[in-house]
């Protein structure tokens, strides 16, 4: 309720005084943090801020992919690929994270072409959304690493399928055939040098080689997701965001 100044009659209405008077319009309520509320401050005017942060983090993700493609500094940047999109999910919501992944893909499609942008979206764009979803719901490292390893493994096979489609050749069959021939060559050399008896090692099967290749991809994806979690745990805490803590044995190693 607004009270007119002392020099005006109490019966004066807003229309008589003027609708633009400063005492007529109440100020908007200011959000007050309650006791026990989350440490994250209440954000007002979420639309523009969410748009700016989503665009900025999407640009950061695409820039890291671009730099790593032309000037690869090793595995350092690859560990950080999904973190900007996961940060968007933690700071805002699922829709903003999907928009960030889509924006990064469109930006890379303009700079590098659609095929290479697809190699970022699958798996790193999808992985960022998944990690943000699991970290916000406080999922354990075992769950997020396991599900993330599946996404990264699917991304490896998606890359092989896309490159095979562009080259017009079955690259998966070619790679496994080359590995089979290399193992057969190594076995024959061991037999020639007398280190292995003739017939002790049979001819390697192509099916077995393919199964071992799939297992190796899964194991490498698990190691990659573990390093991503370590990097995220160190980086997000400095940005004011939280994620589930590491297992006790990891915490003990880091404390030492």
Model confidence over 17-48: pLDDT tens digits?
444 444 334 434 444 444 443 444 434 446 78
Q: What is the DSSP letter of 75?
A: S
Which pLDDT score is estimated for 148? 95
Indicate the number of domains in the chain.
1
Contact 248, 142 (CB under 8 A): no
pLDDT in tens, 125-155: 999 999 999 999 999 999 999 999 999 999 9
Q: How far apart are CA 99 and CA 51, in angstroms?
A: 9
Which pLDDT score is estimated for 95? 92
For residue 18, being part of any structural domain is answered with no
Contacts of 170 (CB under 8 A, 6+ apart): 164
Q: What is the DSSP letter of 124?
A: I
- Helix, coil or strand: residue 57: helix
Q: How far apart are CA 76 and CA 60, in angstroms?
A: 15
- C-alpha distances (whole Å) from 212 to each of 20, 146, 150, 173, 209 are 76, 19, 16, 14, 5
Which pLDDT score is estimated for 251? 83
For residue 65, being part of any structural domain is answered with yes
For residue 10, being part of any structural domain is answered with no
* CATH code, domain carrying 139: 1.10.1760
For residue 79, being part of any structural domain is answered with yes
For residue 192, being part of any structural domain is answered with yes
Among 161, 154, 190, 189, residue whose Cα is nearest residue 175: 161
For residue 23, being part of any structural domain is answered with no
Contacts of 143 (CB under 8 A, 6+ apart): 134
> Chunked in runs of 10, what are the mean pLDDT values of the chain (256 residues)?
47 42 40 44 61 92 92 85 94 92 94 92 95 94 95 94 90 83 76 61 73 90 95 88 87 77
pTM score: 0.75
Which pLDDT score is estimated for 169? 85
For residue 136, being part of any structural domain is answered with yes
For residue 198, being part of any structural domain is answered with yes
Residue 88 belongs to what domain range? Answer: 47-255
């Amino acid at each position: 309720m607004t009270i007119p100044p002392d020099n005006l009659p109490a019966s004066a209405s807003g229309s008589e005084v003027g609708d633009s008077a400063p005492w007529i319009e109440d100020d908007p309520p200011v959000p007050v943090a309650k006791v026990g509320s989350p440490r994250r401050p209440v954000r007002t005017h979420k639309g523009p801020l969410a748009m700016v942060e989503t665009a900025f983090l999407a640009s950061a993700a695409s820039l890291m992919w671009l730099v790593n493609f032309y000037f690869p500094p090793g595995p350092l940047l690859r560990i950080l690929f999904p973190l900007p999109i996961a940060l968007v999910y933690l700071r805002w919501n699922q829709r903003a994270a999907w928009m960030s992944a889509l924006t990064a893909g469109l930006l890379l499609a303009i700079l590098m072409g659609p095929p290479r942008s697809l190699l970022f979206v699958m798996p790193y764009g999808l992985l960022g959304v998944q990690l943000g979803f699991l970290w916000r719901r406080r999922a354990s490292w075992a769950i997020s690493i396991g599900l993330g390893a599946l996404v990264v493994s699917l991304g490896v096979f998606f890359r092989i399928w896309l490159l095979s489609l562009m080259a017009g050749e079955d690259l998966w069959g070619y790679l496994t055939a080359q590995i089979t021939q290399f193992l057969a060559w190594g076995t024959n050399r061991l037999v020639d040098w007398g280190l292995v008896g003739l017939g002790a090692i049979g001819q390697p099967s192509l099916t077995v080689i393919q199964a071992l290749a799939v297992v190796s991809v899964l194991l490498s994806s698990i190691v990659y997701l573990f390093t991503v979690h370590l990097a995220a745990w160190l980086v997000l805490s400095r940005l004011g965001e939280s994620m589930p803590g590491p297992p006790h044995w990891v915490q003990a190693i880091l404390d030492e």
